[in-house]
Amino acid sequence: MSWLEFLRPREATHQVLLAEDTEVFRGPKGREESIRLDEWSEVSIVTTDEGPYRDDVFFLLGRLDPESGLAIPQSAEGCRELLARLQQLPGFDNQAVIQAMGSTNQAKFVCWRRATGGDR
């Protein structure tokens, strides 16, 4: 493989579809998962040390059920629009996003947590 092949952008094999109150994630081979806004408990960004030739930034949408959630690679089509929606959450921490985007290590950056007491 020539070094020029590394300069080609990665093809998006994942897709985020935004609906009014639901995010749908379509992965390779057509697998789909969805999460409703009222199910979110936490929004985090996880970084790895595997870039730049592999996905190394993931958005995690944690559910109220701690055993499940959704991990979306930054390379997913629609991820830019997803971030814009996330930034509208009350108390969303944009500084955590900035720190995550500069990270080249394995780390987790919490950007938002659902307020206790049922606040949405």
- Give how far Cα 93 sits from Cα of 83, 85, 90, 98, 111, Å: 12, 13, 9, 9, 5
As a whole number of angstroms, the distance between CA 24 and CA 82 comes to 10
State the DSSP code for 120.
-
SS3 36: strand
In a domain, 51, yes or no: yes
In a domain, 14, yes or no: yes
In a domain, 117, yes or no: no
Q: Which range is least confidently modeled, 75-79, 92-96, 106-110?
A: 75-79
In a domain, 1, yes or no: no
In a domain, 103, yes or no: yes
pLDDT in tens, 57-67: 999 998 887 77
Range of the domain at 79: 9-112
In a domain, 68, yes or no: yes
pLDDT in tens, 12-54: 578 888 888 777 888 777 788 888 888 889 999 999 988 777 8
pLDDT of residue 117: 61
Cα torsion 68, 74, 76, 78 to 10°: value is 100
> In the structure encoding, which two tokens stand for residue 38, read together?
């009222």
- Give how far Cα 106 sits from Cα of 22, 31, 103, Å: 29, 26, 8
In a domain, 118, yes or no: no
In a domain, 73, yes or no: yes
Q: Model-level pTM greater than 0.85?
A: no
pLDDT of residue 30: 76
pLDDT-above-70 percentage for the chain: 87
Number of domains in the chain: 1
